[in-house]
Amino acid sequence: QKEVEQNSGPLSVPEGAIASLNCTYSDRGSQSFFWYRQYSGKSPELIMSIYSNGDKEDGRFTAQLNKASQYVSLLIRDSQPSDSATYLCAVKEGFQKLVFGTGTRLLVSP
Protein backbone atom coordinates (compact mmCIF):
# COMPACT_ATOMS: atom_id res chain seq x y z
CA GLN A 1 0.00 0.00 0.00
CA LYS A 2 1.34 3.40 -0.99
CA GLU A 3 1.89 5.84 1.87
CA VAL A 4 0.14 8.75 0.15
CA GLU A 5 -2.32 8.07 -2.65
CA GLN A 6 -3.81 10.40 -5.24
CA ASN A 7 -5.76 9.85 -8.41
CA SER A 8 -3.39 10.71 -11.25
CA GLY A 9 -6.15 12.25 -13.38
CA PRO A 10 -6.35 14.25 -15.47
CA LEU A 11 -9.21 16.01 -13.75
CA SER A 12 -10.91 18.25 -16.29
CA VAL A 13 -13.14 21.13 -15.20
CA PRO A 14 -14.53 24.15 -17.06
CA GLU A 15 -13.43 27.64 -16.14
CA GLY A 16 -15.36 28.95 -13.14
CA ALA A 17 -16.18 25.51 -11.74
CA ILE A 18 -15.02 23.95 -8.48
CA ALA A 19 -12.15 21.48 -8.73
CA SER A 20 -11.97 18.82 -6.03
CA LEU A 21 -8.69 17.00 -5.43
CA ASN A 22 -8.40 14.10 -3.02
CA CYS A 23 -5.64 12.35 -1.11
CA THR A 24 -5.50 9.44 1.34
CA TYR A 25 -2.59 8.50 3.60
CA SER A 26 -1.60 5.42 5.54
CA ASP A 27 0.28 6.71 8.62
CA ARG A 28 -2.30 7.33 11.36
CA GLY A 29 0.26 9.25 13.40
CA SER A 30 0.72 11.95 10.77
CA GLN A 31 -0.04 15.45 12.01
CA SER A 32 0.97 17.76 9.17
CA PHE A 33 -0.50 17.87 5.67
CA PHE A 34 0.33 20.02 2.67
CA TRP A 35 -0.81 20.76 -0.86
CA TYR A 36 1.67 21.84 -3.51
CA ARG A 37 1.15 22.98 -7.07
CA GLN A 38 3.67 22.07 -9.74
CA TYR A 39 3.73 23.49 -13.25
CA SER A 40 5.41 21.43 -15.94
CA GLY A 41 9.19 21.63 -15.67
CA LYS A 42 9.09 23.68 -12.47
CA SER A 43 9.57 22.92 -8.80
CA PRO A 44 6.58 22.50 -6.45
CA GLU A 45 5.18 25.56 -4.70
CA LEU A 46 3.25 25.42 -1.45
CA ILE A 47 -0.44 26.25 -1.64
CA MET A 48 -1.87 25.18 1.70
CA SER A 49 -0.89 23.55 4.95
CA ILE A 50 -3.39 22.01 7.37
CA TYR A 51 -2.82 20.50 10.78
CA SER A 52 -6.27 20.15 12.41
CA ASN A 53 -9.44 18.37 11.42
CA GLY A 54 -11.88 20.49 9.46
CA ASP A 55 -11.59 23.13 6.78
CA LYS A 56 -8.99 25.80 6.17
CA GLU A 57 -9.67 28.50 3.60
CA ASP A 58 -7.22 30.76 1.79
CA GLY A 59 -8.67 32.78 -1.05
CA ARG A 60 -10.05 30.41 -3.68
CA PHE A 61 -8.49 27.39 -1.99
CA THR A 62 -9.96 25.27 0.80
CA ALA A 63 -8.12 22.36 2.39
CA GLN A 64 -10.12 19.75 4.25
CA LEU A 65 -8.70 17.22 6.71
CA ASN A 66 -10.33 14.17 8.26
CA LYS A 67 -7.81 12.28 10.38
CA ALA A 68 -10.26 9.53 11.33
CA SER A 69 -10.71 8.68 7.65
CA GLN A 70 -7.07 9.51 6.80
CA TYR A 71 -8.26 11.81 4.07
CA VAL A 72 -7.15 15.23 2.85
CA SER A 73 -8.76 17.23 0.07
CA LEU A 74 -8.25 20.49 -1.77
CA LEU A 75 -11.07 22.50 -3.29
CA ILE A 76 -10.36 25.19 -5.86
CA ARG A 77 -13.27 27.56 -6.38
CA ASP A 78 -13.75 29.62 -9.54
CA SER A 79 -11.11 27.55 -11.36
CA GLN A 80 -9.00 29.44 -13.88
CA PRO A 81 -6.95 28.13 -16.83
CA SER A 82 -3.87 29.28 -14.89
CA ASP A 83 -4.75 26.68 -12.24
CA SER A 84 -3.94 23.94 -14.74
CA ALA A 85 -1.04 22.09 -13.13
CA THR A 86 -0.23 18.99 -11.14
CA TYR A 87 -1.30 19.13 -7.50
CA LEU A 88 0.80 17.17 -5.02
CA CYS A 89 -0.40 16.04 -1.61
CA ALA A 90 2.31 15.71 1.05
CA VAL A 91 2.21 14.22 4.53
CA LYS A 92 4.77 14.63 7.31
CA GLU A 93 5.32 11.19 8.82
CA GLY A 94 6.90 10.87 12.24
CA PHE A 95 7.55 14.63 12.35
CA GLN A 96 10.50 14.16 10.01
CA LYS A 97 9.81 12.36 6.77
CA LEU A 98 7.86 14.38 4.21
CA VAL A 99 6.18 11.97 1.81
CA PHE A 100 4.46 12.95 -1.44
CA GLY A 101 1.74 11.40 -3.49
CA THR A 102 2.18 10.99 -7.24
CA GLY A 103 0.02 14.04 -7.93
CA THR A 104 -3.23 14.82 -9.71
CA ARG A 105 -3.10 16.65 -13.01
CA LEU A 106 -5.77 19.37 -13.25
CA LEU A 107 -6.91 20.79 -16.59
CA VAL A 108 -9.13 23.88 -16.57
CA SER A 109 -10.67 24.64 -19.94
CA PRO A 110 -11.66 28.18 -20.96
Partner 1 sequence: DGGITQSPKYLFRKEGQNVTLSCEQNLNHDAMYWYRQDPGQGLRLIYYSQIVNDFQKGDIAEGYSVSREKKESFPLTVTSAQKNPTAFYLCASSIQRDTEAFFGQGTRLTVV
Binding partner 1 by CB under 8 A: which of 24, 83, 103, 106? 103
Out of 16, 18, 32, 78, point to the residue binding partner 1 (CB under 8 A): 32
**Residue 18 per-residue DSSP state:** P
Q: Which of residues 13, 34, 37, 79 is near partner 1 by CB under 8 A?
A: 34
CB atoms within 10 A of CB 108: 20
Task: Please say whether the beta carbons of 105 and 11 come within 8 A.
Answer: yes
Helix (H, G, I), strand (E, B) or coil at 81: helix
Which residues here bind partner 1, judged by CB under 8 A?
Answer: 6, 31-32, 34, 42-46, 49, 51, 88, 90, 92, 95-103
